[in-house]
A = this chain, B = another copy of it.
Amino acid sequence: MKLRPLLFILAALLGAAAVRADEGMWLYSAPPRDQIKKKYGFDLTDAWLEHLMKSSVRFNSGGSGSFVSGDGLVITNHHVGLDALQKFSSTEKNYVHDGFYAKTAAEEIKCLDLELNVLQSIEDVTARVNAAIPPGMTGNDAALARRKIFAEIEKESREKTGFRSDVVTLYQGGAYHLYRYKKYTDVRLVFAPEQQAAFYGGDPDNFEYPRFDLDICIFRAYENDAPVKPVHFLKWSAAGAADGELTFVSGHPGNTSRLLTVAELEYTRDIQLPYTDSVLKRREVLLTAWSARSEENSRRAKDDLFGIQNSRKVRDGHLAALQDPVFYGAKVAAEAAFKKQLADRADGKDALAAFDRIAAAQKVLAGIAPRMRMIEGGAGFVSDSFSIARQLLRAGDERPKPNGERLREYSDARRDSFEQQLFSDKPIYTDLEIVMMSDALTFLVEQLGATDPLVQTVLAGKSPRARAAELITTTQVRDVAFRKKLYAGGAAAVAAAKDPMIEVARAIDAEGRALRKTGEGQSEIKQQAQAIIGKARFAIEGTGNYPDATFTLRLSYGPVLGYEENGQKIPAHTTIAGLYERSTAQHNKEPFDLPPRWIAKKTALNLSTPYNFVSTADIIGGNSGSPTVNQAGEFVGIIFDGNIQSLSGDFGYEEVQARALSVASAGILEALRKVYEVPALANELVKGHR
């Protein structure tokens, strides 16, 4: 029996009909033709695939997109384009807040450092890579040999084809594929709505559904100062997709961890996630309470707080997935089935042993986790001042060493970005630093115990609050000139400064390094074992299954489909009317306030126009901005988020409640025409050219 993906087993456990679920982030070189044919009666032809592949665009800033006109228009999410928007916004021209539209080609603004890639071909280079690594070679030597052959293949391809060429490691090292991309570096902004329309509902609605977001941003790709005329671009479907209609998503999922062993999942579920979750929640309360005390506090903590809230939601979603006996049980059953297959094969012994090595390493990691997080992880010292102090200390100690013997972040290769960041004069607020570090030291005492010698050394006989205040107010590390002086002077200058925060970093440095050494050793053991398992899995399954996500182009699929939550039916589509209803119900209060333009244009709109919708397609971070297409290969929407249940996607696919969220093509057109009154742009989308 061939090992089937997770959901097959899940379906079996659920007693569902043996129809394959809509699982998978499939390689374009090994698409799920059979499954789709069988379940939906649809043929994935080569021409259909090539057209979608070459219409799909990778945003190297970390997202996906697609060509949507023969004159080079590329659509992605507002939150993917945000980085570019921020870079040419200023106090006077706040494009993030106000939105943007280039009425003429001349008004289109060139992005500073945006690179788009369009996949042209995939070539299997597994044999050539493997041949370059002598049998028996392992660890660092094998890694070096691999890096060398990658560089050789990439260079050769680039010179031959002129395309950007990347060798991609798939199936945990089971296969190596060469991906060739057409590259665009002249990318210009055409249209962006107000962030408040794009990210309507803000953090409270993040990862939730129903939603009402116009999360789009439209660029135009140029070559030789003229718009690109792509052969392949997606035809715009003005009607969009109906409930139940089969759709496809073509994009670049960033990464997944679907092949973690049960030993690793258990650690993640029982130790790592509860810990991370509780840390995030204590910090969220800390910053929320502090923010409530004044507007200035709120402004200072805002970015940190949003990051924490976002992470907390993700962690809660991960924990919910792993605590679900059905989901977790399927992972356990899948591993057991795979191990059985291995046991039946002559060459399966190595892989079975690798499972045991991972479990043993995980145990060691669990043992050192409490001190590791606090000391080397820095959770007991959270503050920019402490981070800088430790960097100064370690830079002094590491820089004289040979490059290969240094801690990773002090290598020559990272030196420029390390220095740029160390000497950054971004504002650091003394009051916020004290608040953060007081809490971190309190947490340190909780976690390691008041009688722990390291804790006592750090506190120096003071309370966490008093000690944090003392350290933060007396350290000089927030002075950039001081940092530069110490960095230039090396270890001797650092020691001579006797800076109290640096001395705290020094006091915990020996244990921190020892913990890290143990941790990295065990992680290396795990990584090597995973590669062995990956190869064994590939030997059994080949490309009959999809590999973990690698920020390379993948095809997902599934119908437009609502779901049930807490006994309530959640319809697949929302409409523009829903946006106004939500705003009214919240008295138009932030973050549910409508941009003025939306208030003014309400009566002009067809309120029953579909706005957002969900499908069962298997997506993850990196898929943001992916086109959702119908069987005709037409653009029916754009992926912008997953619901909270889809956060399980890191570990495995779930089809009962997990959903991919798209902005509907019809809603986009309606907004462009009636709210933003940009008929030329709307027409270009519909006609496919200017």
Contacts and interface: CB of A to CB of B under 8 A. Distances in A.
Interface of A: 203-205, 208, 269-270, 274, 277-278, 281-282, 284-285, 288-289, 292-296, 309, 312-313, 319-320, 323-328, 431, 434, 442, 445-446, 449-450, 456, 459, 461-466, 469, 473, 565-567, 585-587, 589
Given A282-B281, A285-B312, A567 B473 contact: yes
Nearest to A292: B204
A257 to B, nearest CB: 18
- Interface secondary structure of A, over-half rule: helix
Contacts of A464: 320, 323
Contact of A208 (B203, B204, B293): B293
Contact of A446 (B274, B295, B328): B274
A196 B319 CA distance: 41
Nearest to A585: B294
A461 B326 contact: yes
B463 A326 contact: yes
Contacts of A278: 278, 281-282
Contact of A431 (B205, B208, B288, B566): B566
14 contacts: A208-B293, A270-B446, A277-B282, A278-B281, A278-B282, A288-B288, A289-B313, A320-B465, A323-B445, A323-B463, A325-B459, A325-B461, A325-B463, A326-B461
A607 to B, nearest CB: 21
Nearest to A321: B463
Contacts of A473: 566-567
A289 B204 contact: yes
A233 to B, nearest CB: 38
Contacts of A566: 431, 434, 469, 473
Given A284-B285, A293-B205, A320-B465, A269 B325 contact: no
Contacts of A281: 278, 281-282, 284-285
Nearest to A644: B465
Contacts of A288: 284, 288
Given A466-B324, A469-B566, A473-B566, A295 B204 contact: no
Contacts of A456: 325
Contacts of A469: 565-567
A450 B323 contact: yes
